[in-house]
Every structure is written in C-alpha cells, then in structure tokens.
Structure 1
Amino acid sequence: MGKYIIFKAESMSASGWEERRLSHTEAFTSILAEHYDSSNSPLPDPGYRLREYHLVSKFADKQFPDASTHSRIGDWEVARVEEYTSEIPNHDFEAVVICYCRYSPVTTPLEPMPEIEVSQELQEV
C-alpha cells in the first residue's frame, strides 16, 4: 500500500502561472507534480518545497543526453496539506494526499545530480 501525493497550485489565478507546469510533460496545469510513496515517510509539511530539475548541456551524459544533470530547491512551497484515507477493502492507495502550494520564488543554487548508474545486465542488452 502507499500514498498518492498530488502537489497542486492553491489557485488557478495565483501568481506564478507561467511556472505552473507538470514536471514530466511541461504542460500548463494546476497540478505541479505527483508522487507515489510506498515508504513510511511522513507527509510533506507546510513550508516543504518541490525540487526543480534542469539539464545543463555541458554536463550531459552521452548515454543519456536528455537526463537532468542538476536540481535545485524550487519556487513552489506547500501551504497546506489535506489527506483522504480509503475505507474500501483492497484499495490501490491507503491515502490520497493533496499538497496545496503557493508560488514563492527563491534563489537557490543548482546542485549536481548523482551520475546515472546502469546495471551490468542492462549494459549487455
């Protein structure tokens, strides 16, 4: 069992709409990111910030040219959290969590991502 965590902009008309994109498609939306969490980690608290991922071309790996090379603490900050638990037997998630975020720009440094490790089995394919 796990939690489905949705990070969503507080309001469709809130400032920062230009930055309101789905992390994996870059499409404009009120949903900023979604995570499937099967750990026992605590839920994000107000003040938690999403990470942004960037590709700096001079650091790109030739084997994975489109992979992110750097990340930084992002401009979207969790303002409030709502958790909805399931009472249905054999459900997919124990809870659906919505983290409402506000756009609160910060200046944070880009940090290098760890190198991508490929298992020996995948290298032989």
Structure 2
Amino acid sequence: MRKYIIFQTEPSAEGWRDRRLQHTQALTRILAEHWDSSDKPLPEPGYRPLEFVRLEECRDRQAPLASTHYRPGDWEVVRVETYPADCPGGAFDFIAICHCQYAPIQAPLKPMPDRKTTSDSYGENVEANAFSKIKKENIVKSRTHAKNSLNH
C-alpha cells in the first residue's frame, strides 16, 4: 500500500519561526514527509518521527553528507487523519496527516545501521529495475578494468 505521510504542527507551535521551506524560505507547518510502500501500519498517537544527525567524526567517506545517527524526535503524534486517494493509478493509495505537538525528550543518539542495497529496494520487476542495471554496469566495468589490466 503506497502511503504519503505528512507530519505537521499547529501554526503557532514551538519554533514556528524557524520552520521554513528550503527553496522559498516561506513558513511551513510541515515537520517531515514520508513516502511509504511497506505494509507497516500508519503512525499512531504517541509515535515520534525520527530525527537524523551527522556527527563529523563518524561520517562515511563514501557518503560524507549522509546522517550517521538518529533518535526519536521531540515531536509527538497526537492525531492522525487519513484521506483515500481518488485518482486511479495515482502515486498513492492514501494520504495521512499526522498532527504533532512539541514534547521534548532526552533520547540517546543511535548509530545508523549499515546501508544495504538489494533488489527489493527497487521493486518487483528485477530485470527492468535500476538495481539490475547497476549490477550489470558494475560487471561491465569490472570486466573492462580486468581486460585493460591484462593488456598493460
């Protein structure tokens, strides 16, 4: 089930002057957006969206801008509204608005798990998906590199 989940605050909630859209700097109530195609249930009251941080001393050289740690956030879901998508074949089956209130907690940072790429990451049709193409490109590059090494 394809879900578009929006976490938002009330207009005058804590820090409202600091929440701005990146490209326009307009004020926003949106804390986070999730696109979820899993069978997991929707967040319920009490759920806290995760906060992600990057500690410079822990960063990965292959992904220097990636988050290194996460923790449950200071915003807590208090109410969830759902709206079915009425567009057949659209991008989502339904949209959920999770209304949040500011309720700070002292949660420890946890290291991000190792990143793994599998065919499941790219959908059911493995032959036509990007994962398959990436694997094929890497095989070609490896063979080309090996062939060039033998010729020199």
Paired residue type of 1:45: E
| Structure 2 partner of 1:70 | 69
Residue 104 of structure 1 and its aligned partner are, at CA, apart by 0.9
Paired residue type of 2:6: I
| Structure 2 partner of 1:50 | 49
For the 8 Å contact 1:52–1:72, the answer to whether it is kept is yes
User: Which segment drifts farther, 75-84 or 32-41?
Assistant: 32-41
Q: Distance in 2 between matches of 1:87 and 1:44?
A: 22
Note the residue ranges of structure 2 that are not aligned, 5 or more in a row. Answer: 119-133, 143-152
Larger radius of gyration: 2
Residue 18 of structure 1 and its aligned partner are, at CA, apart by 5.6
Note the residue ranges of structure 1 that are not aligned, 5 or more in a row. Answer: none
Question: RCO greater where, 1 or 2, for CA within 8 Å and sep 6 or more?
Answer: 1
Hey, which of these two has a bigger chunk of strand by percent? 1
Counterpart check, 1:35 vs 2:34: yes
For the 8 Å contact 1:8–1:31, the answer to whether it is kept is yes
**RMSD over aligned Cα atoms:** 2.8
Q: How many residues align?
A: 122
Q: Distance in 2 between matches of 1:62 and 1:91?
A: 38
For the 8 Å contact 1:21–1:32, the answer to whether it is kept is no
Residue 94 of structure 1 and its aligned partner are, at CA, apart by 1.4
Residue 53 of structure 1 and its aligned partner are, at CA, apart by 0.5
Hey, which of these two has a bigger chunk of helix by percent? 2
Paired residue type of 1:5: I
Counterpart check, 1:106 vs 2:105: yes
Give identity over the alignment, percent: 48
Paired residue type of 2:93: E
